[in-house]
Amino acid sequence: MLNHLRQFSVSFMILLSLTFFLLSSCTTGYENDGKEVRWHTWDEGRGHQSYKVNADPKTFVTLTHDYGKDNVHAFYCGQIIEKADGKTFRAINNSYACDKNYVYSFEKIIIGADPATFKVLSTYLSEDKHDYYWEGRAITVKDKSSFVLLGKDNDWQTQWAKDQYNGYFLPGGSISGIDYETFHPAPKTSTNHSGNYAVDKNRVYFENKVVTNADPGSFKEVDWNIGQDKFRVYKGERPTQLKDYNSLNKIGRLMYTDGTSIYDADFYILPDADAATFECVGENWYKDKKHVWWNTLSLPDVDVATFRPIKNYGFRYGEKEECNSCDFNYGKDAHHVFFQDSIILGADPNSFEIIDFPDSESWTIFDKNRIYSGNKTPQLQEYLIKMYGKQ
């Protein structure tokens, strides 16, 4: 009996996989029955969808899965590509195309690209007789003969290139005056890195800006858009007052402490914060023994002891279910309701709630006296009657 069940389970999974394959492969792309052209899509969320394409079925041809054309227009995913010439339009691959006038990345014109000499070199890199292009955007290379990528040409994490005159932060932004031989992406000490720093023997660079007074010999990216040299910590291209990033402990998503002071995400000291009692109490909420902050903004007239962020709930089968799928930036204490760092005048903290009712188009934010966002749906009315005896 067990073997029969296993065989049935395997057969069922094969059938399910085959069905999924057929649905996802046969019901997507262009369909031309000679009377009209249709574009079909399929995804797990919305299932199969299709709509009529404004194309001439007698002259329409499918070029790739996403590109098509008739004698007048070209199409990308069923939509007319503005300014494209249908008669001369051709697909290079499923991401690039050209006609007698323009080169296209998906449905967008690549400004300045020459269709006669344009060629795709990799997933991200292409070129014509004038320039190189990264992800369909001109790099504006000064000297093509000495141009090199500082990374792989088919890797989205490649962010730097150079020629004998400039460094290039991809896909756009040049830096003049680099040392060609030593210019390279900065070392990284964290897996959470942006790759937006570069160095040569003389300077440190963030994107297409110079990091003033940074030491290239000791500079490393230590966290996302955060650099460190032997002198100090940098946020982007900006020097900070911090000396050692490793001396910090992160508190929640936005704050840091060195045990003495509290620093925000840009490494400015948070005024009046007490490091000994400072804590994160929600995604964007912090407090110590005397204050509550939304991000770096202090709340007025707040009762610290009773303050808490307001949770959000789903509503299924007549009951609330805690969601906390996102922070709506509402909080309350025993006396007030706050939105970010402001008091909502007249709001009732005891009955203030955020609920996703199934018969509402969006989240409903309300108290027993008023709706602040959303609609007064039948389910909200029933809930107010049940909780407060009023609609």
Q: Is the pLDDT of residue 18 over 80?
A: no
Of 112, 49, 119, give the one whose Cα is nearest residue 78.
49
Cα separation, 144 vs 20, whole angstroms: 47
pLDDT band at 2 (very low <50, low <70, confident <90, very high): very low
- Measured distance CA(243)–CA(124) in Å, rounded: 38
DSSP states of 179-196 as a string? -TTT-EEPPB--SS----
152 band by pLDDT with thresholds 50, 70 and 90: very high
Reported confidence tier of residue 3, pLDDT bands at 50, 70, 90: very low
Given this model, what pLDDT does residue 305 score? 98
Report the candidate in 180, 81, 366 with the shortest Cα–Cα distance to residue 377: 366
In the chain, the amino acid numbered 167 is G
What are 250-269's pLDDT values in tens digits? 999 999 999 999 999 999 99
Q: What is the pLDDT confidence band of residue 390, given thresholds at 50, 70 and 90? A: confident
Which residue is associated with the tokens 């939509």?
Answer: 79
Q: Identify any residues that bridge with 166 across adjacent strands, giving them in sequence order.
A: 176
Q: What is the mean pLDDT of residues 17-29?
A: 52
- Three-class secondary structure of residue 89 per DSSP: coil
What integer pLDDT is reported at residue 167 of this predicted model?
98
Would you give the DSSP letter of residue 269? B
pLDDT of residue 22: 41
Give percent of the chain with pLDDT exceeding 70: 92
Joined tokens for residue 390: 């009023």
Residue 134 has pLDDT above 80, yes or no: yes
- Residue 27's pLDDT is what? 66
pLDDT at 43: 83
pLDDT per residue over 312-364, tens digit each?
999 988 889 988 667 899 999 999 999 999 999 999 999 999 999 999 988 99
Residues 186-221 as b/e (b if ≥16 CB within 10 A, e otherwise) read bebeeeebbbbbbbbeebbbbbbeebeebebeebbb
How do residues 103-114 score in pLDDT, each as one tens digit? 999 999 999 999
Q: Answer with the residue of higher pLDDT: 172 or 99.
A: 99
User: Is the torsion defined by CA of 146, 152, 153, 159 positive or negative?
Assistant: negative
- pLDDT value at residue 44: 78
Structure tokens at 386: 């049940």
What is the rounded average pLDDT of the residues 267-282? 97
**Strand boundaries in 64-135, DSSP class E:** 67-69, 74-76, 79-80, 90-91, 96-98, 103-105, 108-109, 119-120, 125-127, 132-134
Can you tell me the distance from the alpha carbon of 351 to that of 371, in angstroms, rounded to the nearest whole number?
11
- Answer for the pair 140, 174: CB distance below 8 angstroms, yes or no: yes
Query: What pTM does this model have?
Result: 0.80
Question: Residue range 147-160: average pLDDT?
Answer: 95
Cis bond upstream, residue 187 (ω within 30): no
Average pLDDT over residues 74-86: 98
